[in-house]
Structure formats: structure tokens, C-alpha cells
Amino acid sequence: MNHHSSPDDEQPLREYFCNLYERFWQRIYRYCLSHLRDEELAKEVTQEIFFALWERRHSLAIRGQEENYLIRAAKYKVFDHYRQQAHEAPHETATETAYAENLTENQVYFNALVSKINELVLFLPGQCRKVYELSRENGLSNKEIASSLQISTKAVEYHITRALRHLRAHLPEYSEHFSNRT
């Protein structure tokens, strides 16, 4: 958005925003869906990201790649969602208190898992790491990854399988969470 605009600049901003939305909304939605596992919530979070972007259109300066900025925004929104769930004031019933405690425990567990995965991903070979990050963190399909890296979809599948095998080997207590989704 890198614009400080006057009312005369509103049309170029609107066109820029529409183009940004059209290019990236599906990727952001897929990223949110993969972490939230709820279609309606993922749609809502995706819309919130783009709405906030539009609201700050006159003061926002995106440095670097737009897609990376949007993925980071999605990560923060997903974490915010889990944090809000963990911190919502529970009612005084025992069931709700147990639910809140379980939610907080799950959030701590989730944060530890994400941290450990990020650490393990750093040890993947270069191309394997790129493929894993494009798939799991950026939400790209195998075909999009293959096109982006100029490799075959079979090579993409190989690298994802290799990365997941590496993670399973180093995180046996979490292995049922690593599906071979392609």
C-alpha cells in the first residue's frame, strides 16, 4: 500500500486492494483453514485480515513481498483466535472451568509443538525445507509449489513426504497429527 493518499488517489488504492485480494484471498483462506479447521471461522478470519488492511490503506506500508505480509497477518490472527479462546472469562460452572483449563493447556501444547516444528524444519535440506514451508506455512498446492520452484509435482510430493517423515521421527508423541495431505 506504500501510499500516503489524497482523495484523488482513492481509485488507484481501490484497484490495488482489489488486485491484492483477488491474488491472495484463497491462499490466506487455505492457511487459516488448515490451522483453524473450521470453514466459517477461516472465512471470517480471512475477511478480517483484508478488512483491516483496507481500513489502514492510507497509513499502511508493506515492506517486502505482499504474500509474506499477508501470511504473517494470518498467523497472528490465528494465534489471536486461540489466545482469545484461552482468555475468555469462563462462567463459574465446573464444566466451563474445566473447558477453559483444557483450552489453555491445549494452547500451551500447540505453542510448544509449533516451536518444536519450526526448530526441526530448520534442519531439513534446503529444497525440502522450501517445499515444506510453501505447503504448510503458505498453504500452496503441490502444483503451485512445483510451478514456483520449477520442479515436478512428484518431486514436491517426495519432499513433503521426506519432511513429514523427519518430523515424525523427531516428534513421535505428535506423529498422528502429521497427515500426508497433498
Q: What range defines the domain where residue 162 resides?
A: 124-174
In this structure, are 72 and 24 located in the same domain? Answer: yes
CA angle 136, 161, 137 (to 5 degrees): 10
In SS3 terms, 20-89 reads as HHHHHHHHHHHHHHHHHCCHHHHHHHHHHHHHHHHHCCCCCCCCCCHHHHHHHHHHHHHHHHHHHHHHCC
Query: Is 129 a member of any domain?
Result: yes
Q: Are residues 20 and 77 in the same domain?
A: yes
109 is a domain residue: no
Overall domain count for the chain? 2
Q: Do 70 and 18 share a domain, yes or no? A: yes
Does residue 113 belong to any structural domain of this protein? Answer: no
Q: Which of 29-38, 106-115, 134-143, 173-182 has the lowest mean pLDDT?
A: 173-182
Residue 68 lies in a domain: yes
Q: What is the pLDDT of residue 8?
A: 55
Give yes or no: residues 71 and 136 share one domain.
Answer: no
Q: Which of 88, 107, 140 represents a domain boundary (last residue)?
A: 88
25 with 83, same domain: the answer is yes
Residue 114, in any domain of the structure: no
pLDDT in tens, 22-63: 999 999 999 999 888 899 999 999 999 999 888 888 777 777
Q: What is the CATH number of the domain that holds 30?
A: 1.10.1740
| pLDDT score for 182 | 40
CATH number of the domain where residue 155 is located: 1.10.10.10
pLDDT digits (tens, 9 = 90+) for 83-110: 777 766 554 455 555 655 666 676 776 7
